[in-house]
Amino acid sequence: MKSQGIYLSWIVVKDIEKAIKFYTEVAGLELKQFDREYHWAELSGPNGAILGIAGESDECPIKAGSNAIVTISVDDIDKANAYYIEKGATLVGEVIEVPGHVKMQTFVDIDGNTLQTVQKLD
């Protein structure tokens, strides 16, 4: 299994609108996307790296204050899941799909770090 790269790291927040205000007004990042339905926002700086902000929800096993989640982009999330399980990782929950955008799978590595694989659908 070959990764496509790391393009996004994300955090979980209690109030997404307050967090957007903080990261745009205080940290100087630019809001690129905000989806109220999925409690998700993406911000970036001039170098193109993306900070994702997820609002706390029942669907997300990660709670506010847990720190950043590194995402690893993959071509096929099902193959990546099988590969990571074979290599000792533990999947957390089910694949989450945002129709027309991405499929995501949270997993815990061999040292207990939480990461996520992401397959772009567009």
Residue 83 DSSP symbol: H
Contacts of 14 (CB under 8 A, 6+ apart): 55, 56, 64
CATH number for the segment(s) 3-120 = 3.10.180.10
- How does pLDDT run across 35-87, given as a tens digit for each residue? 999 999 999 988 788 999 999 988 777 888 877 888 888 999 999 999 999 99
- Give the rounded percent of residues in the chain with a pLDDT score beyond 70: 100
pLDDT at 6: 79
What is the pLDDT of the chain when averaged over all its residues?
Answer: 89
Diameter over CA atoms, the chain: 44
pLDDT at 40: 96
The model's pTM is 0.69
